[in-house]
Amino acid sequence: MPILNILRYPDERLHKVATQVSEVTDEIRTLVHNMTETMYAAPGIGLAATQVNVHQCVIVVDVSDSQNELQVLINPEIISSSGVSDNEEGCLSVPGVFAKVCRAHSISVKAVDINGQTYVLEASGLLAVCIQHEMDHLLGKVFVEYLSPLKQKRILTKLKKQQRNAM
């Protein structure tokens, strides 16, 4: 399975809004496998299709240390949420940047699995935060956009410097 290229902020393609998956085809299953492999290799705890330049509502998450609690969420939809938590977040599309974002502490999320079955996942803590972060990607939103304009400007400066140094 190939490792996919992850778009880096501020790539404009990270702002595209993903479309719903109408049917879980072999193509979608291959996408899920490749996204999972890419997430584990990075390593990361979540990846949205948007980040690999596929604009369909597919996310994969695994917040375990041992990389054996994979959750695949196709067409995820939050049906209820409660509580508040602000956690330090990072993102594979914004390497080296971490910042606190305010999210719901617990969520119920309805999604479709790799077999095309609809299910409801109850998540709290890190898993809930991660799912909300990845769902934002599907809407074209990157976590740093919750920060103040000044902080966003600093982050952009830092990323430009990183990219220059990498050339």
- How does DSSP classify residue 55? -
Q: Least separation, in Å, of the C-beta of 26 and Ni ion?
A: 26
Stretch that binds Ni ion, among 22-30, 77-85, 89-97, 152-160 (CB under 5 A): 89-97
Catalytic annotation present for 12: no
91 near Ni ion (CB under 5 A): yes
The enclosing H or E element of 160 equals helix 149-166
Contacts 24+ apart (CB under 8 A), 147-153: 147/99, 151/99
Residue 124's DSSP bridge partners are 106
Pick the closer one to Ni ion by CB: 91 or 123. 91
14 touching Ni ion, by CB under 5 A: no
What 3-state class would DSSP assign to 56? strand
Q: Does 101 bind Ni ion (CB under 5 A)?
A: no
51 class by beta-carbon count within 10 Å (0-12 exposed, 13-18 middle, 19+ buried): buried
User: Per CB under 5 A, does 130 bind Ni ion?
Assistant: no
Of 77, 153, 71, 133, the C-alpha closest to 108 is 77
Number of residues counted as binding Ni ion (CB under 5 A): 1
Q: Which is nearer to Ni ion, 74 or 138 (CB)?
A: 138
Is residue 7 within 8 A of residue 14, CB to CB? The reply is: yes
For Ni ion, the closer of residues 111 and 144 by Cβ is: 144
129 binds Ni ion (CB under 5 A): no
> Which residue has its beta carbon closest to Ni ion?
91
| CB 142, min distance to Ni ion, A | 7
Q: Give residues in contact with Ni ion (CB under 5 A).
A: 91
Catalytic (active-site) positions = 134
